[in-house]
Amino acid sequence: MNAPQTPHALHFMPSAGFRARARDVVENPFLRQSFRGAMDFLMSKRAAQFPDPEELESLRSLGERIRQYNLAKLPELLETLETNLTRNGIKVHWAETPEEANAIILGICQKHSARLMVKGKSMVSEEIELNHAAEAAGIGALESDMGEYIVQLAGEKPSHIIMPAIHKTKEQIAKLFHENVPGVEYTDNVDALIQIGRQVLREKFEIADIGLSGVNFAVAETGTLCLVENEGNGRMCTTAPPVHIAITGIEKIVEKLEHVPPLLSLLTRSATGQNISTYFNMISRPRQPGEKDGPGEVHLVLLDNGRSQAYADEQLRKTLQCIRCGACMNHCPVYTRIGGHAYGTTYPGPIGKIISPHMLGLEATAGLTTASSLCGACGEVCPVKIPIPDLLIRLREEAFSEPQANPAMRGQGAGHNGLISAVWRGWSAVYSSPALYRTASWLASRFRWLTPRRQGGWTSVRTPLQPAPKRLRDLIKERN
């Protein structure tokens, strides 16, 4: 059984290799079936949470409004957040790039002579490839979310933002544990495997110097970091070690505490089909005198990494509404066929296709914009109504148009191809002129026998397209 082979080197792969990676998965019947089964399960769980289409629609509209309201005030809210967090005793750091974020985090680790960092699930830490940077600095970074722990053992990246190890079978996990965890006999009993993982991690929580976590919502008015999780590992990471470092993208901010419940409800129901997650953590300050537990130091790293670029454009800003539920990938017919690794980006699936170009530039991601039939399933389920198909069309324009001065995006025009642009110009000239169209379509029908039998990718699994002997306009004329 061949899992999609992810290079162990933790580097972003350019979209140039996308087709080959997608093909590897598509041609593997086992993986095809396994992804489909997993996505079917997640879709049915979500559907069961939203039995009333009207309620869903009004909740989605509310989610959209809350996110847009907060994004509109983002610069101001970030300042308020910093003020209130600082007042609460949480140290705020700003990072423009992944390198800066890593330097800040590793700097804190070094100040505490840290040897081990335990990590709660954080996609932003994946985005900056923190584990890689920590390892290079001689600091152990251990994933404590079960799925993340599994992909870390396998030397892979998550293939889904909510279910990182969704591409793995229990047999593969059994083998991984047996080969990598000392003293573990082979077992593919899922409960036993989870207990093994929990035991390993429990010991590490006790000795870790640093706990790292992500943030689901940062509340500006109160200076509170909210963390949604199911396994309790997030709470361990944020309470057991003496230092807690949280990292998040600058867009995850809401002004008021009252903005959280609707978004939380949309998040858990859309992501895993849960009414509410098992744990919901609200972190407002480090341990106070007289308190029995909690970290003595709490830090928040706010990462930009291209988000400002998306923010600056009215349409592209909608990308930042995302609350990272993953419903778009669960419902995407492309993701369902190829899984997450094929994308070669930290965030796969529809959201990955629209956010990654801001992080990595269109030079590396232009090809990904074409990996969509624009079926609209993603936009239909998005809990905050991000118009993903419209954004994909916009990104195609940014990627394939001629390079311009002062573009809205890094790498604009990276996919520009003079020949293809000329073909579209020619197409446009023919289809905007009734006379040219009449002639061209007449010729296509008259000389239909000249239609090539091989038509690129189309004829790999389809019979060739051939114009009908007579056009509709001919049939109408004959009838009249």
Q: Out of 96, 313, 363, 380, which residue is the one contacting another protein (CB under 8 A)?
A: 380
Residue 111 interacting with another protein (CB under 8 A): no
Residue 178 interacting with another protein (CB under 8 A): no
Residue 424 interacting with another protein (CB under 8 A): yes
- Which candidate, 201, 216, 206, 194, places its Cα nearest to that of 280? 216
- Least distance in angstroms from the C-beta of 24 to another protein: 9
Closest to another protein by CB, 121 vs 385, is 385
Q: Out of 338, 351, 354, 360, which residue is the one contacting another protein (CB under 8 A)?
A: 338
CA distance 172 to 174: 5
Closest to another protein by CB, 58 vs 421, is 421
- Which candidate, 126, 170, 172, places its Cα nearest to that of 148? 126
- Amino acid identity of residue 109, one-letter, is C
Residue 471 interacting with another protein (CB under 8 A): yes
Residue 461 interacting with another protein (CB under 8 A): yes
Q: Out of 377, 382, 391, 414, which residue is the one contacting another protein (CB under 8 A)?
A: 377
Residue 371 interacting with another protein (CB under 8 A): yes
CA distance 157 to 128: 12
Q: Out of 400, 409, 411, 414, which residue is the one contacting another protein (CB under 8 A)?
A: 400
Q: What is the DSSP letter of 14?
A: P
Question: How far out from the chain centre does Cα 194 lie?
Answer: 25
Residue 395 interacting with another protein (CB under 8 A): yes
392 in Cβ contact with 382 (< 8 Å): no
- Which candidate, 380, 435, 372, 337, places its Cα nearest to that of 46? 380
Closest to another protein by CB, 177 vs 400, is 400
Residue 23 interacting with another protein (CB under 8 A): yes
Q: Out of 30, 41, 186, 458, which residue is the one contacting another protein (CB under 8 A)?
A: 458
Closest to another protein by CB, 209 vs 363, is 363
Residue 48 interacting with another protein (CB under 8 A): no
Closest to another protein by CB, 215 vs 399, is 399
- Least distance in angstroms from the C-beta of 45 to another protein: 16
Which part of the chain contacts another protein (CB under 8 A), choosing from 80-88, 250-258, 276-284, 331-339?
331-339
- Which candidate, 126, 82, 141, 122, places its Cα nearest to that of 299? 82
329 in Cβ contact with 160 (< 8 Å): yes
Residue 328 interacting with another protein (CB under 8 A): no
How many CB atoms within 10 Å of residue 341? 25
CA distance 336 to 31: 10
How far is CA 324 from each of CA 68, 123, 348, 378, 382, rounded to the nearest angstrom? 15, 9, 11, 13, 10
CA distance 311 to 327: 23
Residue 222 interacting with another protein (CB under 8 A): no
- Least distance in angstroms from the C-beta of 460 to another protein: 6
List the structure tokens of 164: 């990182």
Residue 209 interacting with another protein (CB under 8 A): no
How many CB atoms within 10 Å of residue 64? 18
- Which candidate, 348, 352, 329, 7, places its Cα nearest to that of 156? 7
Give the binding-site size for another protein (rule: CB under 8 A).
Answer: 66
List the structure tokens of 138: 């001689």
Residue 396 interacting with another protein (CB under 8 A): yes
Residue 398 interacting with another protein (CB under 8 A): yes
291 burial (CB, 10 Å; 0-12 / 13-18 / 19+) is exposed
- Which candidate, 409, 208, 173, 367, places its Cα nearest to that of 295? 208
Residue 124 interacting with another protein (CB under 8 A): no
Closest to another protein by CB, 47 vs 276, is 47
- For the chain, give the longest Cα–Cα distance: 94
- Least distance in angstroms from the C-beta of 429 to another protein: 8
Which part of the chain contacts another protein (CB under 8 A), choosing from 93-101, 152-160, 274-282, 461-469?
461-469
- Least distance in angstroms from the C-beta of 162 to another protein: 21
Distance in angstroms between the alpha carbons of the first and the last residue of the chain: 63
Residues at the contact surface with another protein, assessed by CB under 8 A: 19, 22-23, 26-27, 32, 36, 333-334, 337-338, 369-377, 379-380, 393-401, 421, 424-425, 427-434, 437, 441, 444-445, 456-463, 465-468, 470-476, 479
